[in-house]
Amino acid sequence: MLVIAYLVLLGLLALWVVLEFSACHSKTSTTSSALGNPAFRKFQHDFFRAYFPALAADWLQGPYLYKLYQHYHFLEGQIAIIYVCGFGATVLSGLVSGPLTARLGRRKSILLFSLLLSACYLCKLSQDYFVLMTSRVLGGFSSALLFSSFESWYSHEHIEHHDFPAEWLPNTFSQVATWNGGISILAGVTANACAEWLGLGPASPSVLAVPLLGLAVVLVFRDWDENHGQSVGFTRSCGDGLRCLLRDRRVVLLGAIQALFESVVYIFIFLWTPVLDPHNTPLGIAFSSFMAASAAGSSLYRLATSKKYHLQPMHILCLSVLMVFFSLFMLTFSTGPGQERPTESFLAFLLIELACGLYFPAMSFLRRRLIPEKEQAGVLNWFRVPLNLIAGLGLLVLHDSDYQSGTRNMFSLCAVTMLLALLSVVGLFSMVRNDPDLRTPSSETEPNGPEL
């Protein structure tokens, strides 16, 4: 597996470069006029310079999180409980991050994010189980603040302060998605270098991330002005979201797809390390390969929706769900007692990540078109509840079973879950196939999805 992991990473990097180069030809005159504006380019540069170190710090924890808990000699069931606590924190953070950011201001929220994530990382130096559980909870809260603070600050400044055209916003977030892919790949290689090549152990990538958070805070407070969003009460936000769900069956189906698909992705995030680690797989390189596959999928989405091919997001969403279903079917036969085939499992994981690269921009487009902007925060809060509930229950089932047979059974259950997601996609497609609002212009791009 050692040689295969490095070869796969190189091959996926080459594929990503080719797809990204091809996708760049779909850029429009709007993009060209944006890049030709010196004031806009400086504004973008100031944003990227502070945001990218924060993204890098967030990605560095990914490759060796599960390995760290194993290194401290915790059992798989105990590790599962830590992850479930993280899922619960994610639900709560989604409920409070928006109002909190609006009340504090986005710059102060970025400071809070950096403090919480730094505390999360430093807690990982402890071998105490409850300290590590606290670390996971802090990580869940900080991740919600990362995106709600930085990208909300940029959108407000772009339109309200600098008065740039709203049509230029996709240019920035398209670049963020591309750079985010490269940063995540580099983070995996860096984590591998610290933990394995230098022999510093699985906690070292997290320690390395703390100075990056400090750099982001310094740049934000030096170069950025404070801004505040419109504060919406928690009860009102959830009430508006619930009313939107009740009156539109399309939104219910979209939420079902998100909950089913992304809960399976969360379970995959938990399982990939124990499946690959026993077979001498360099975890940081494997993580970088996953991120390269996801980045290639994102570039493929842009290419597929370009003038040349003009596929629609609903078609791509259906394809991504089918790809994950097929991957999980493969995993049920490549895992289990006495049947481990790590190379096949690795390829199946890569296919899941490629599908994620297609899924997240397609889902982002459909959410934006089907859910009114003022109700999106409340609706997404409702979406997160079943998503994290399914993932948490899945890990609790795994916790109560024999690990090796439980892993195979879990992939089988995930395949059934993905089949339900496919049925939901078919149901949604039958309702919206003639809706012109759900057809994307070839120039439109969407941001990528969450971190592994």
Does any domain span residue 129? yes
Average pLDDT over residues 23-50: 77
Does any domain span residue 400? yes
Q: Does 245 lie in the same domain as 199?
A: no
Residue 259 phi, psi dihedral angles, 5° rounding: -65, -45
Q: Does 286 lie in the same domain as 273?
A: yes
CATH value at residue 176: 1.20.1250.20
| Residue 193 DSSP code | I
Q: Which of 171, 204, 231 is the last residue of a domain?
A: 231
Q: Which of 175, 210, 231 is the last residue of a domain?
A: 231
Alpha-carbon distances, residue 175 vs 37, 180, 263 (angstroms): 16, 8, 27
- 15 backbone φψ class: left, alpha, beta (φ>0; ψ -120 to 50): alpha
Does any domain span residue 215? yes
Structure-token pair, residue 272: 């990939």
Residue 401 phi, psi dihedral angles, 5° rounding: -120, 165
Structure-token pair, residue 257: 């797809």
Average confidence score pLDDT of the chain: 88
Q: Does 368 lie in the same domain as 226?
A: no
Q: Does 262 lie in the same domain as 192?
A: no
Does any domain span residue 1? no
The DSSP-derived string for 198-221 is S---TTHHHHHHHHHHHHHHHHHH
Q: Is residue 148 a contact partner of residue 97, using CB atoms and an 8 Å limit?
A: yes
Does any domain span residue 322? yes
Q: Which of 205, 231, 257 is the last residue of a domain?
A: 231
Question: Which residues have CB under 8 Å from 210's CB, separation 6+?
Answer: 57, 118, 121, 122
Alpha-carbon distances, residue 415 vs 83, 142, 257, 344, 447 (angstroms): 21, 31, 14, 16, 27
According to the model, what pLDDT value does residue 375 have? 81
3-state SS assignment for residue 232: coil
Does any domain span residue 71? yes
Q: Does 332 lie in the same domain as 442?
A: yes
Does any domain span residue 10? no
Lowest mean pLDDT among 6-20, 95-109, 122-136: 95-109
The residue segments making up the domain with residue 428 are 234-452
Max CA pair span of the chain: 63
Q: Looking at the 3D structure of the chain, how many domains does it have?
A: 2
Helix (H) or strand (E) holding 449: none
Helix (H) or strand (E) holding 54: helix 38-59
Average pLDDT over residues 73-98: 85
pLDDT digits (tens, 9 = 90+) for 279-330: 989 999 999 999 999 999 999 999 998 877 888 899 999 999 999 999 999 9
Q: Does 280 lie in the same domain as 161?
A: no
pLDDT digits (tens, 9 = 90+) for 316-342: 999 999 999 999 999 998 887 777 889
